[in-house]
């Protein structure tokens, strides 16, 4: 049952993100910098993800679980209707040259890089709360620490967007991947809830660094095909979110949550190594 609730929550969030990725071109036109636009978009999306369980918890008691699911489905449906494109941006000049996204390997290469941090986010969504509850069996304290994690991530994407505009996309991405690996390894060794809470806040920052730059890069590479390229990216991320929860669950059942955290550390370190390899080969330059 717990897995069902997680899968529904994760799928709902990612489908909501997929249905609203057309909003990114609008935000990009509103902001002078693409990084700031992407950061603002992801900040609002993740704040919604953090706040939604509060409303769901209030509604479940008087209405029941089934009614809350129906309300969620109705909200998703309205989101799809609102996000339907009214018109398509026509490409112009060199930036708008025709691109066949389904055959462009760079879209899939960047989306593959997004799998590494997304796997760890899927694991955190499913088991981070369980890990904190093992440290201190208090719902209030655990709820506060989880809120720190989500709020840290939501606010960090704003700062990451500005950082990406200032220093480019490669440095923040590399820092996010390697930093996440260090934080996950430290979480595996954490023995006190205060130290774990501090690490959760830092983890939100590093995961933001590993998320925003890839989205910014795709909007830069394919300005006339933003919706299509981000659609591919979202599909990869959604699959990684579900896979992260599943693999983390299997590993935690066999060896415990602490080993699962070390597994997440290894995953993002591998993502960092892959990024360094691609940079050295020049594969990420169009």
Map out the domains of the chain with their CATH numbers. 2-80+105-281 (1.20.1250.20)
Q: Give pLDDT, residue 198.
A: 92
C-alpha 3/C-alpha 246 separation (Å) is 9
Between the two ends of the chain, the Cα-to-Cα distance in Å is 46
Q: What pTM was estimated for this model as a whole?
A: 0.66
Helix (H, G, I), strand (E, B) or coil at 284: coil
- Residue 191, burial from CB neighbour count under 10 angstroms (0-12, 13-18, 19+): exposed
Distance of CA 280 to the CA centre of its chain: 26
pLDDT tens by residue, the chain, 286 residues? 333 334 344 444 444 444 444 455 554 454 456 555 555 555 655 566 556 656 666 676 677 777 766 776 776 666 555 544 444 444 444 444 444 444 477 778 887 888 888 888 888 877 888 888 888 887 778 878 888 888 888 888 888 877 887 888 888 888 888 999 999 999 989 888 889 889 999 998 898 888 888 887 777 776 666 666 777 777 788 788 778 878 877 887 787 888 888 888 998 888 888 888 887 777 665 4
């Amino acid at each position: 049952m717990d897995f069902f609730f997680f899968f529904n929550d994760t799928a709902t969030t990612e489908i909501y993100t997929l249905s609203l990725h057309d909003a990114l071109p609008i935000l990009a036109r509103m902001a002078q910098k693409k990084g700031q636009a992407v950061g603002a978009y992801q900040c609002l999306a993740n704040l919604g993800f953090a706040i939604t369980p509060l409303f769901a918890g209030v509604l479940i008691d008087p209405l029941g679980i089934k009614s809350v699911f129906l309300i969620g489905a109705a909200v998703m449906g309205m989101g799809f209707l609102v996000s339907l494109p009214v018109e398509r941006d026509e490409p112009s000049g060199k930036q708008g040259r025709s691109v066949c996204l389904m055959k462009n390997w760079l879209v899939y290469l960047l989306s593959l890089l997004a799998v590494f941090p997304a796997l760890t986010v899927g694991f955190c969504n499913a088991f981070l709360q369980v890990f904190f509850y093992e440290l201190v069996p208090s719902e209030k304290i655990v709820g506060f620490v989880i809120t720190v994690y989500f709020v840290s991530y939501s606010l960090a994407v704003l700062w990451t967007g500005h950082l990406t505009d200032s220093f480019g996309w490669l440095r923040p991405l590399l820092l996010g991947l390697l930093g996440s690996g260090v934080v996950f390894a430290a979480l595996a060794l954490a023995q006190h809830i205060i130290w774990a809470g501090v690490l959760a806040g830092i983890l939100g920052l590093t995961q933001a660094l590993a998320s925003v730059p890839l989205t910014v890069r795709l909007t830069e590479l394919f300005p006339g095909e933003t919706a299509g390229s981000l659609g591919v990216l979202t599909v990869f991320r959604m699959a990684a979110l579900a896979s992260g929860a599943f693999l983390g669950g299997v590993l935690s059942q066999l060896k415990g949550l602490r080993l699962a955290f070390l597994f997440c550390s290894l995953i993002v370190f591998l993502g960092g190594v892959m990024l360094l390899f691609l940079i050295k080969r020049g594969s990420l330059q169009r």
